[in-house]
Structure 1
C-alpha cells in the first residue's frame, strides 16, 4: 500500500487536482464568455472574459488558442444545451404545447445566440466546424418535436421542417434585431402559430 508521499502516486504528483482545476477553469471561462459575448457581441473581449472568470488571459488561451475557438466552443455549448432541452420534451403528453413552447423559447433566446455568432464571424470563424454540427443537432431535435406535434394534430400536416425552421429563424432575427418588446414578440408569435395550426382551427378558416 503506497503512502501519501510516495513518488508517482496521485497524492504526491498532484495531477488529478490539476486536471480538475483545468476542467473547472474551462467551464467557468465558457460560462462567463457566453454571458459576456451574448451581451456585448463583437465589442466584447477575451480580456473581459478572463477578468470576470478570475483567471489570467494566458489561461483563457491555454484552453482556447484563439478568440474564434472560444466563441465556437460557446456556441457549441449553447446549441447542445438547447438540443438537450428539446429532447427532454419528446415524451411529453402534450406534443403541441411542447413544440410551440420550445419555438417561443428559441425566439426569446435568439438575441444572445446571434450576438455570439456575429462575434465569431468577426473573429474569423467560418460556417464549418463543431458549431455547425451542433446547430444541425438542434435543428434535428426541432424537427422531431414538429413531427410529434403533427402526429398529435396540433400542427398542420402540410408543412415540413425547412419552411418551419425558416419561420423560426426569421422570427428570431426579427425579435433580436428589432429589439421587440415582449408583448409585441408574443403577438408576432401568435400570428405565426395561427398559421401553423391545422386549417380547421385557423382564424382565417373560421372567417370564411
Structure 2
C-alpha cells in the first residue's frame, strides 16, 4: 500500500500558490505562450521552484486551466439545475464567451492551440465541452435551439465571438443566440 503524501512545507506551499496565482494572471492576460522562466520571474521564485511543483509547462497549464474549467463546469451544472434547457444552454454559451474574452489562455486552450484541454478536463471530470454538448441537445429537444445546429456550429460561433474585437461583445452574442433559435414559419 502506498503511504499518503507528506504535507508540503509552509514555504513550499506559499511558493506553489504564488506560482499558480502568477501563472493564472499571466495566462489570462497574455495567453499560453509565456515562457516558464518569465512566470517564475514574475512570481519571485526560481525556475527550479516552478519545476519542482510543475515538471512541465503542460502541468502548469493544467493546474491553472483545470481550476477554471472546474468552476465553469459547476456553473454549467447549476444552470442546468436552475433554468429551463434553452435558458441553461444560452447562459452557458454566453458565459463561456465572456470567460474566453477575459482569459486569453482559456480561449486559446478551448480553441485547441497546442494543449488538449478537453482530454485533461475529461480526466479531471470538468469537461465543459461535454456539458455544453448535453445542454445543446437538451435545448434542441425542448425546442429552444434549431435542431439543425451541430456542436461544431456552436464551437465555430464561439470561436468567432472570441475573435471579435469590437466594443460590444454582448451585442454579437445576442445576434448569435437569435440565430440559434428555431426558425418560425
Q: Same fold (TM over 0.5)?
A: yes
In structure 2, relative to structure 1, the CA distance for the partners of 1:191 and 1:74 (3 Å cut) is: same
Counterpart in the other structure of 1:190: 174
Give 1 or 2: higher helix fraction: 1
In structure 2, relative to structure 1, the CA distance for the partners of 1:127 and 1:67 (3 Å cut) is: closer
Q: Is the 8 A contact 1:154 1:198 kept in 2?
A: yes
> Which shows bigger deviation, 161-170 or 101-110?
161-170
Q: How does 1:65-144 map to 2 (within 5 A)?
A: 65-111=55-101, 113-115=103-105, 126-128=114-116, 131-134=117-120, 137-144=127-134
- Within 1, Cα distance between the matches of 2:8 and 2:179? 55
The alignment yields a C-alpha RMSD, in angstroms, of 3.1
- Within 2, Cα distance between the matches of 1:93 and 1:180? 30
- 2:151 maps to 1:167: no
Q: Is the 8 A contact 2:88 2:135 kept in 1?
A: yes
Q: State the Cα distance separating 1:48 from its structure 2 match.
A: 4.6
Q: Is the 8 A contact 2:62 2:120 kept in 1?
A: no
- 2:141 maps to 1:158: no
Q: State the Cα distance separating 1:58 from its structure 2 match.
A: 2.3
DSSP-derived class of the 1:199 partner: coil
- Within 2, Cα distance between the matches of 1:135 and 1:170? 23
- Within 1, Cα distance between the matches of 2:62 and 2:114? 9
Q: Deviations over 1:2-27 (max 9, x none)?
A: xxxxxxxxxxxxx5352x76556434
Unmatched tracts of structure 1, length 5 or more: 1-14, 120-124
Counterpart in the other structure of 1:16: 7
Q: State the Cα distance separating 1:196 from its structure 2 match.
A: 0.9
- Within 2, Cα distance between the matches of 1:106 and 1:70? 21
Q: What TM-score, normalized by structure 1, do the two folds share?
A: 0.66
Q: Is the 8 A contact 2:79 2:88 kept in 1?
A: yes
In structure 2, relative to structure 1, the CA distance for the partners of 1:21 and 1:132 (3 Å cut) is: farther
Q: Deviations over 1:33-59 (max 9, x none)?
A: 111122123664434533554544322
